[in-house]
Amino acid sequence: MSIINQLEIKVIGGELINAEEAFLLAQFNDKEKLYQAANRIREFFCGNRIDLCTIVNAKSGKCSEDCKWCSQSDKYKTGIETYDLIDSNEAYSQAMHNEKAGAHKFSLVTSGRTISNSNLDQLCSIYKKVGKESQLELCASMGLLDRDRLQKLIDSGVKNYHCNIETAPSFFPKLCSTHTLEEKICTLKTARELGLHLCCGGIIGMGETLEQRIEMGITLQNLGVESIPLNILNPIPGTPLENQKPLSDEEILTTIAIFRFLNPKALIRFAGGRMLILHIQNKALKAGINAALIGDLLTTVGVSMKDDVRYFKKSGFVC
């Protein structure tokens, strides 16, 4: 019996695999067998439903942080549109449109290390209106928040909090110096203590090693994250990573499969950079993916929502 079959049986039996076992999987030569096993694990734990989330860029640019991949940092000249806070009517209209197009979840996303209390109050009023007039599950992504501000989100109807760890703990300090991974994890743990579900993933292709991608997957496993957005670096001109060499298709698919082995019950989500891998999108769906961000993704445009829903249904998923 191959190592893939052994570890597939272990995972389906309810045990978690460790970093050493994940590395053995990643080194297995027959990648198709790895992807197929990851797909069976996804089917066993999650079935064929695909979870669809939409996000609205509620506060754009002018970020004080120096994350090397990000177009929103004011440390880099990337030419993006900047604004302090989205108009509440515009945010509400987008939410209603997204629900009609097939979205299950709706999130307001703000740039910056954290959010002011006054801005938070305005966004909470949007959540209350959307929650009252739709069936959308509400999510938020607003940086490093303390207990009181997280509770305000809960009181306005938010069920899920998003804060990416971005990469492996051993690699994070090379990509950002203005905040730490420990601060992110503190926010996530506080959100969990308050009863929020966690949406937390990262970006692959920023110069990390295979071992560090596995390290990120293990960190997410230890946090018990319910939703893992797996971004592919889309190098932004003007950022320090603008010339970063892209990962190969095999490296991306292998990462997806390994993340499924490590986090068998999680929603592993297409996120930023999906336009770069449309040519292998079906393979990714058969290697462990079971969720997606749909619509316009922050500062880069994605596939139309109707096209996404049609494609996922054609691929055998229930939307």
Is 319 part of any domain? no
Q: What is the mean pLDDT for each group of 10 consecutive residues in the chain (319 residues)?
A: 94 98 96 98 97 94 94 91 91 93 95 95 97 97 97 98 98 97 98 98 98 98 98 96 97 98 98 93 97 69 79 94
Q: What is the pLDDT of residue 298?
A: 44
Is 79 part of any domain? yes
Q: What is the end-to-end Cα distance of the chain in Å, rounded?
A: 36
Phi–psi pair at 38, nearest 5 degrees = -60, -40
Domain ranges, residue 189: 3-314
Q: What is the pLDDT of residue 302?
A: 59
CATH code of the domain covering residue 136: 3.20.20.70
- For tokens 């066993």, what's the residue? 44
Q: What is the pLDDT of residue 59?
A: 94
Q: How far is CA 47 from CA 81, 168, 288, 291, 306, in A?
A: 40, 29, 11, 12, 22
Is 182 part of any domain? yes
Is 223 part of any domain? yes
The pair of structure tokens assigned to 7 is 């570890």
Q: What is the pLDDT of residue 297?
A: 47
Q: What is the pLDDT of residue 12?
A: 98
Is 295 part of any domain? yes
Of 197, 109, 188, 120, give the one whose Cα is nearest residue 160: 197
Of 300, 269, 299, 272, give the one whose Cα is nearest residue 104: 269
Q: What is the pLDDT of residue 98?
A: 92
- Give the total number of structural domains in the chain: 1
To which H or E segment does residue 255 belong? Answer: helix 249-262
Is 44 part of any domain? yes
Is 274 part of any domain? yes
Query: Can you tell me the distance from the alpha carbon of 123 to that of 110, in angstroms, rounded to the nearest whole number?
Result: 10
Is 132 part of any domain? yes
10 Å Cβ neighbour count for 310?
Answer: 13
Q: What is the pLDDT of residue 296?
A: 54
- Residues 6 or more apart whose Cβ sits within 8 Å of residue 314: none
